[in-house]
């Protein structure tokens, strides 16, 4: 019981940090014309908002959990003493953010014993807060979420994300597999976290990634696990700096996607 109470107290703290970070991001989102934008790579952007939100998250998490480490997308990394690491993505979906779209979110995930164990996702432009983990039931804006429904191929849908560096042959194989093998409806929303939100809300049955980073998934996976979502990531063989190729969704969805993951190369 004490551990559950501790986990719930942690959830309240991190949810408050995420909400305040969202308010900071919204200030920049409402004045995009004046926001400096830099390129990290082709179609890979970073803004002043990313840097400021990451700095804010690091400062708040260090204050709340001084013994823990922190690992951030934009270079923020602090070695802790507890063995726990907060893995953060200040704005997942920066490209959408810069274009004025609503599909972006703040992602804060806890990594311990080589596993994601807890996460908070806040999509400020949509006012969606998802919280959940090993000892914390998944909630959307404070209300419990229902498990995913069984896969129904007559109305199935999935989303996917492809990193710009992924080889053309792998991109084409993903498209072919979805169209020919699965014959499934699909979409791309430009943000892994926003895609995970779609899965949680039941808008899609699963998500496939070719090239996401660990900070894209660390918060979402424990949130989704409580809803019956499985995934193909082998954390025992995955380091925090690695690019990922995986599927997540119901067990049946993941099973149907395994042949695709076996056919595309694992180098990202």
Closest by CA to 165, choosing from 212, 219, 121, 205, is 212
How many CA atoms, within 13 angstroms, populate the side-chain half-sphere of residue 61? 32
How many angstroms separate the most distant Cα atoms in the chain?
51
Three-state SS at 175: helix
Quote the CA–CA distance of 102 and 33 in Å, as a whole number: 16
Quote the CA–CA distance of 206 and 202 in Å, as a whole number: 9
Quote the CA–CA distance of 207 and 26 in Å, as a whole number: 27
91 is in an annotated binding site: yes
73 is in an annotated binding site: yes
89 is in an annotated binding site: yes
Stated as kind and residue range, the H or E segment containing 198 is helix 192-201
Angle subtended by helix axes 2-29 and 48-64, to nearest 10: 160
Write phi, then psi, for 163 (nearest 5 degrees): -70, 145
Give every CB contact of residue 181 below 8 A, 6+ residues apart in sequence.
Answer: 259, 260
216 is in an annotated binding site: yes
Closest by CA to 65, choosing from 138, 13, 23, is 13
Copy the structure tokens of residue 115. Answer: 């596993």
Using a 10 angstrom Cβ sphere, with 0-12 exposed, 13-18 middle and 19 or more buried, the burial of residue 238 is middle
- Would you list which residues are annotated within the binding site? 73, 89, 91-92, 216
- Would you list which residues are annotated within the binding site for Mg(2+)? 73, 89, 91-92, 216
């Amino acid at each position: 019981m004490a551990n559950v109470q501790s986990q719930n107290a942690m959830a309240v703290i991190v949810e408050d940090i995420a909400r305040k970070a969202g308010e900071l991001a919204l200030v920049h989102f409402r004045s995009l014309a004046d926001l400096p934008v830099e390129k990290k790579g082709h179609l890979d952007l970073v803004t002043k908002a990313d840097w400021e939100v990451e700095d804010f998250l690091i400062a708040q998490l260090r204050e709340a959990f001084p013994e823990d480490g922190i690992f951030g997308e934009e270079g923020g990394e602090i070695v802790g003493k507890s063995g726990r690491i907060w893995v953060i993505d200040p704005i997942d979906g920066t490209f959408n953010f810069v274009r004025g779209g609503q599909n972006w979110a703040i992602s804060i995930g806890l990594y311990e014993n080589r596993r994601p164990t807890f996460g908070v996702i806040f999509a400020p432009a949509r006012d969606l807060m998802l919280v959940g983990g090993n000892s914390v039931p998944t909630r959307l804006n404070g209300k419990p979420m229902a498990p995913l429904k069984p896969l129904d191929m007559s109305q199935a849908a999935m989303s996917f994300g492809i990193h710009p560096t992924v080889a053309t042959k792998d991109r084409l194989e993903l498209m072919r597999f979805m169209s020919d093998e699965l014959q499934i409806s699909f979409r791309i929303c430009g943000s892994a976290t926003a895609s995970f939100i779609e899965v949680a809300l039941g808008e899609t049955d699963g998500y496939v990634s070719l090239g996401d980073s660990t900070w894209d998934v660390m918060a979402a996976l424990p949130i989704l696990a409580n809803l019956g979502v499985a995934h193909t990531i082998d954390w025992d063989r995955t380091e925090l700096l690695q690019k990922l190729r995986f599927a997540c969704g119901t067990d049946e969805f993941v099973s149907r996607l395994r042949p695709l993951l076996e056919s595309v190369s694992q180098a990202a």
